Amino acid sequence: MSHSWGYEATNGPSKWGASFPIANGDRQSPIDIVPGNASHDPGLKPLKLKYDPSTCLEILNNGHSFQVTFADDTDSSTLTDGPISGTYRLKQFHFHWGATDDRGSEHTVQGAKFPAELHLVHWNTKYASFGEAVNKPDGLAVVGVFLKIGNENAHLQKLIDKFSVITNAKTQTTFVDFNPATLLPGCLDYWTYLGSLTTPPLYESVTWIVLKHQITVSSAQMAKFRTLLFSSNGEAPCCMENNYRPPQPLKGRVVRASFK
Ligand SMILES: NS(=O)(=O)c1ccc(C(=O)N2CCc3cc(O)c(O)cc3[C@@H]2c2ccccc2)cc1
Ligand SMILES: [Zn+2]
């Protein structure tokens, strides 16, 4: 994966279309979710998320975000039901955030931005692997969770405590026995629509499942997110922040709601 793209003025979202023409496609993500325009679909099932902490492997800085990676060789950590059919396995989760607490999320709600957004990335087991699934129209299902400023989040703190070891791009360290379910709000009401990866290669392969309720993060914890670097060891340090793509045209897509 070429690392030429980024989030600076010279290589950021407005420039991605040059190398990745699908950036101007018909099912790009993120989008602005307008609750009043979303149609309640009583046929939508509740999300079924089954996560096994023992599948947690490592935490890494990939130069675009930090992510926690999971063993996905069995159906130990899966997403089923909701808007999808079949079984999708958890591959990784990561975040997007801003330079200040007034922005950072990728999806917005009636124009409202949140300071950060969590993405739990799952792949459809009808395909042999994540790599096979990543560019298929029904290949991925990503659960998006908004973070709002509030009390310190003890579960997020377990991730933050590892940041000093993964400050530089392309660094990683072991990270075991973490349950991603601790990063979910109590209510799993959601909006769902067909979209894409929000980073290059921008494949239009994602069933997006964006939760209505948020989890909290303290402002001090958000400041710790911004101590990570886009840059590698030895390069001029560049703070990892504003690693979000802005909302893209809806192009006639329908957003469904699992709730009234
Ligand atoms: N924000 S998101 O839509 O939830 C999302 C999901 C998956 C991925 C992902 O796994 N990618 C795309 C970006 C990327 C960048 C790298 O430097 C890298 O080493 C891997 C990836 C992977 C990727 C996976 C498969 C093909 C191409 C890239 C990225 C973003
Ligand atoms: Zn993401």
pLDDT of residue 80: 99
Pocket test residue of 1, 70, 72, 146 for ligand 1, highest count of atoms within 8 A of CB:
1
**Mean per-residue pLDDT, 164-178:** 98
Q: Is the sign of the CA dihedral 129, 132, 137, 140 positive or negative?
A: positive
Residue 161 predicted with pLDDT over 80: yes
The band of 242, judged by pLDDT with boundaries at 50, 70 and 90, is very high
pLDDT tens-digit series, residues 182-232: 999 999 999 999 999 999 999 999 999 999 999 999 999 999 999 999 999
Q: b/e map of 31-67 (b: 16 or more CB within 10 Å)?
A: bbbeeeebeeeeebeebebebbeebbbbbbbbbbbbb
The atom number, within ligand 1, closest to the CA of 3 reads 17
Q: pLDDT tens, 60-91? A: 999 999 999 999 999 999 999 999 999 999 99
Residue 18 pLDDT greater than 50, yes or no? yes
Six-digit token pair at 41? Answer: 């679909």
Cβ-in-10-Å burial (0-12, 13-18, 19+) of 128 comes to exposed
Quick one: pLDDT at residue 114?
Answer: 99
What pLDDT does residue 1 have? 44
Q: Which atom of ligand 1 is nearest to the CA of 196?
A: 3
Is 60 exceeded by the pLDDT of residue 56?
A: yes
Average pLDDT for 52-59: 98
Fill in the amino acid letter for 157: Q
Q: What ligand has the least distance to the C-alpha of 91?
A: 1
CA torsion, ordered 64, 70, 72, 77, to nearest 10 deg: -120
130 Cβ contact partners less than 8 Å away, ≥ 6 residues apart? 72, 91, 123
pLDDT at 3 (0 to 100): 58
Question: How deeply is 228 buried, as exposed, middle or buried, from its count of CB atoms within 10 A (0-12, 13-18, 19+)?
Answer: buried
Q: Which residues are catalytic?
A: 64
pLDDT of residue 234: 97
Q: Is the pLDDT of residue 39 over 60?
A: yes
Mean pLDDT of 124-146: 99
Percentage of residues in the chain having pLDDT higher than 90: 99
Q: Cα of 249 to ligand 2 centre, how many Å?
A: 18
Residue minimizing CA distance to atom 19 of ligand 1: 1
Q: At 122, which amino acid appears? A: H
What domains sit in the chain, N to C, each tagged with a CATH number? Answer: 13-257 (3.10.200.10)
Q: Is there an atom of ligand 1 within 6 Å of 133 CB?
A: no
Compute CA distances 97 → 32, 104, 124, whole Å: 16, 4, 27
Cα dist from 163 to 56, 60, 61, 121, 172, whole Å: 17, 9, 9, 21, 10
User: 3-class DSSP state for residue 3?
Assistant: coil
Q: Which ligand is nearest to the CA of 97?
A: 2
How does the average pLDDT of the chain come out, rounded? 98
